[in-house]
Amino acid sequence: MSEKAKKTEKTFVETRYYNSPEGSEFLLESGIILKDLKIAYETYGELNPDKDNAVLVCHALSGDAHAAGFKRGEKKPGWWDDMIGPGKAFDTDKFFVICSNVIGGCRGSSGPNSVNPATGKPYGLSFPLVSIRDMVRAQKQLMDFLGIQRLVAVSGGSMGGMQALQWSVEYPDMVASCIPIATTYKHSAQQIAFDEVGRQAIMADPAWNGGDYYEKNHPSSGLAVARMIGHITYMSDSSMENKFGRVLKKEKLGYEFATEFEVEGYLRYRGDSFVKRFDANSYLYITKAMDYFDMQKDRSLSFVFKNVKARFLVIAFSSDWLYPPYQSKEVVRALKMNGVDVTYCEISSDYGHDAFLLEFKEETKLIGHFIKNTYKKIRKAT
């Protein structure tokens, strides 16, 4: 089969589940214990006999374990299908790629919409708050379950990049290379502010009912507004101008409070489609975890990375104003101060933060070569 045919061949996948041993306890960073941990995950490619060809891909805020391929009965592929598969950046002819839904999420892993065994009802706000570090430690349990002791690479964009960075410092002996994309080592005041506006939109919806809405009407209006706000930050001024400008949905202005501009209709569509697949409480939990994220705390950033052993490929995008390139450069500077093998690439793009999902041709060139080179080093060393 030709390389082109491999890239276009439809691959069907199914979501699997890891359940921690019955009665086991997972200690969260907050000090609260979460029982009976559950993780939804998908895998692509084959794990070789040496179990040394594994790559972990981490998803962003609204993502899930379905990163590539097609689920039967669904028309759209996984959220990073352009990057994962035969001959792609994460080449499944060579690597075993894993993606799991984060804890606190709503797509199969333990989260606020999970059933609390003590009550037989969804947790709602009784589910404990989680952190990025908790997400990574849960993923480590999944790796142990799969028998993987070393990862060729850990990668992800946005919140996925935060997880990748956390992996590099949390389990330095396990990560051979780290590829954080369009991300940061801590949320700034502006990033926290945008998240808080989204949370307030959800909590202001009367249907939210203090998080107890699972057997009632869901806070769809609040969640849709939160998504609309978020989506504005994912695009750039130029991408919105190029895509919409001031184009009207009708021939002329009606001078009324209706959807008159194309950009208004687009945002409403994004908000309405989002509520069909995402849980409002999970939006609260995951954005809060991102806001808590601060690898530096009261230490120097160079100190944070002093024990890392991974090679790094740090990727940023010129028009990303949600996670601007200067934040990636600060990570690169701290890594270089520790003598870490790090390459920084800033891709010129008008897509804004969404570029990590759209600029797959440029990313493929960079990541594909980087991972293969890393794997060669691993094989040579062993």
Tokens 């065994």 belong to residue: 117
Q: Which helix (H) or strand (E) holds 84?
A: strand 84-85
Q: What is the pLDDT of residue 1?
A: 47
pTM, two decimals, is 0.95
Q: How confident is the model at residue 6 (pLDDT cuts 50, 70, 90)?
A: low
pLDDT score of 339 more than 90: yes
Q: What is the pLDDT of residue 354?
A: 97
The CB density around residue 173, as the number of other CB atoms within 10 Å, is 10
Q: What is the pLDDT of residues 43-84, one digit of tens each?
A: 999 999 999 999 999 999 999 999 999 998 888 999 999 999
Q: What is the pLDDT of residues 227-244, one digit of tens each?
A: 999 999 999 999 999 999
**Catalytic annotation, residues:** 158, 320, 353
Amino acid identity of residue 174, one-letter, is M
Cα distances from 369 to residues 21, 91, 366, in angstroms, run 39, 10, 6
Of residues 10 and 94, more confidently modeled: 94
Is 164:55 a contact under the CB 8 Å cutoff?
no
Full set of structural domains in the chain with CATH: 3-186+294-381 (3.40.50.1820), 192-287 (1.10.1740.110)
pLDDT score of 8 more than 70: no
The CB density around residue 272, as the number of other CB atoms within 10 Å, is 15
Q: What is the pLDDT of residues 281-314, one digit of tens each?
A: 999 999 999 999 999 998 999 999 999 999 999 9
